[in-house]
Structure 1
Amino acid sequence: MTTAQQPPRPSPPLVRLRLAPRGGVPRSIDGAWWPRSYDLLAELPRLLAELPRAWGNIASVTVNGATWAAVPGRMLVSNQVVRLRRTLTASAAHTIVLLAPGQGRWDLLVVPPETTEDAAEPLMAAAAGDQG
């Protein structure tokens, strides 16, 4: 009798994230995130896992309520409760705000998932302050 081996599962897609360098002048945008969908429950855990450890534990996330699919009031991410807030403010249409108590606040530009790579790349570079 032979046993068929299962093919290896594909690894989860890499998070498309570009952060501005630390220090220097305060910035209104701290980088850019290009999620693969508007499903915050699927996308947020991957984003939080890729953030620098120096940012601490993100306890609160504010997103545009009109942009994302259903957003619950909180979710469990890596054994930590993260409070989710929705805003309909026009200035927050394409941003996500991450708060870590005692550590700080970070605002990331959200590049819409359907954006082509050619269009997303300059947006992400500009948000991260890349020269080029």
Structure 2
Amino acid sequence: MTTALQPPLPSQPTLRLRLAPRGNLPRAIDGAWWPRSYDLLAELPQLLAGLPRAWGHIAGVTVSGATWSAMPGRMLVSNQVVRLRRTLVGSAPYTVVLLAPGQGRWDLLVVPPDTTEEAAEPLMITAAGGQV
């Protein structure tokens, strides 16, 4: 009897996320996320899976309508419905707002997917409350 080798599973790309340390005071930006594309349906599940459990179930996500590709009004992520909302407000084209009922709201800076690593890293450190 021979055993066939299974091909290795494609590895999931590392989530590029930096969060500010928890504190008692609200922050304007709670961290930074550097997605690999503007396809929210492809990017959002990995982001939500990588968030701290203490944030609870993210039930709503608001993104800039001018920045992200078309999307439905809701999607199923890990067997839970997440409502998606597009805003046309131009003041926050590079943020994503995450809402967890009874838990809170978190605003993340979105580093554009085509940003180089050299340019993205300082943005993410600064957004997470660190110094470059």
Q: How would you bin the TM-score normalised by the shorter chain?
A: over 0.9
How far apart are residue 3 of structure 1 and its match? 5.9
**Across the two proteins, how many residue pairs are aligned to each other?**
132
2:5 aligns with 5
Matching residue of 2:67: 67
TM-aligned CA deviation for residue 27 of structure 1: 0.7
Give the corresponding residue for 2:23.
Answer: 23
Q: State the distance in 2 between where 1:28 and 1:15 align.
A: 22
Consecutive unaligned residues of structure 2, counting only runs of 5 or more, are: none
Alignment-derived partner of residue 96 in structure 1: 96
Unaligned runs of 5+ in 1: none
TM-superposed deviation, 1:72: 0.7
1:84-109 per-residue CA deviation (whole Å, 9 max, x = no partner) reads 00001111200000000000000000
8 Å Cα contact 1:17-1:34 kept in structure 2: yes
- Contact 1:65/1:71 (<8 A) preserved: no
3-state SS in 2 of match to 1:45:
helix
Alpha-carbon offset, residue 25 of structure 1: 2.8
Counterpart of 1:58 in structure 2 is: 58
After superposition, the CA RMSD in angstroms is 1.3
Please name the residue that 1:119 is paired with.
119
* Greater CA drift, 26-35 or 7-16: 7-16
Task: Supply the distance in 2 between the matched residues of 1:6 and 1:113 (Cα, whole angstroms).
Answer: 33
Please report how far the alpha carbon of residue 119 of structure 1 lies from its aligned counterpart in structure 2 after TM superposition.
0.2
The whole-number CA distance in structure 2 between the counterparts of 1:77 and 1:25 is 30
**3-state DSSP class of the match of 1:32?**
strand
Amino acid at match of 2:52: P
Per-residue deviation, 1:114: 0.3
Deviation per CA, 1:51-101, whole angstroms, max 9, x where unpaired? 000000000000011111111100000000000000011112000000000
Report the counterpart of residue 34 of structure 2 in structure 1.
Answer: 34
Query: For the residues of structure 1 that align with 2:48 and 2:91, how far apart are their CA atoms?
Result: 23
Identity across aligned pairs (percent)?
80
For residues 103-131 of structure 1, the C-alpha deviation after alignment (integer angstroms, 9 at most, x for no partner) is: 00000000000000000000000100113
